[in-house]
């Protein structure tokens, strides 16, 4: 990590919600999701908030060798946003504990607060992380069958 990755870093990120980020597109394999309302899906809201946190800290990492992975999220999803609206994420790094980063996060759609909460990420070495994942797959029952 580079100097300057300290609490207080704030970042704002905007995104125009497309049709393919609505609930029916979240799991097209799910017959239940296919008939649900065409609004920004909670799963995509979570990804959008993670994206904003990644962008907030990227200048402070030795990218792409260092990256971050999400490890915890606790957010509301309190208002529906139809496609065509712009959502705005506001994230702030609240604490740095070694490689563990904790953010406050929220998102607005210009009319309503759509999400608010907390998100944690860990800074990782991408190569070492990929090796651990590879070993996990090799040692899993999936590969042994």
> What does DSSP assign to residue 17?
-
The span from the CA of 99 to the CA of 105, in Å, is: 19
Partner residues linked to 97 by β-bridges: 100
- Concerning whether 77 is annotated as a catalytic residue, the answer is yes
Catalytic residue among 38, 42, 66, 102: 42
- Concerning whether 108 is annotated as a catalytic residue, the answer is no
- Concerning whether 50 is annotated as a catalytic residue, the answer is yes
Residue 10, SS3 per DSSP: strand
Q: What angle do CA 95, 115, 10 make, to 5 degrees?
A: 35
For residues 116 and 75, the answer to whether their CB atoms sit within 8 Å is yes
Catalytic residue among 22, 50, 81, 106: 50
13 φ/ψ angles, rounded to the nearest 5 degrees: -140, 135
Residues serving a catalytic function are 42, 50, 77
């Amino acid at each position: 990590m580079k100097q300057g990755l300290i609490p207080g870093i704030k970042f704002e990120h905007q995104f125009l919600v497309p049709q393919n980020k609505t609930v029916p597109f979240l799991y097209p394999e799910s017959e239940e999701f296919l008939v649900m309302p065409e609004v920004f899906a909670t799963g995509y809201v979570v990804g959008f908030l993670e994206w904003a946190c990644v962008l907030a800290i990227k200048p402070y990492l030795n990218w792409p060798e260092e990256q971050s992975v999400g490890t915890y999220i606790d957010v509301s999803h309190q208002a529906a946003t139809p496609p065509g609206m712009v959502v705005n994420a506001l994230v702030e790094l609240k604490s740095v504990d070694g490689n563990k980063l904790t953010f406050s996060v929220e998102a607005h759609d210009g009319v309503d607060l759509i999400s608010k909460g907390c998100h944690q990420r860990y800074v990782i070495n991408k190569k070492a992380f990929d090796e651990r994942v590879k070993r996990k797959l090799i040692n899993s029952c999936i590969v042994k069958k």
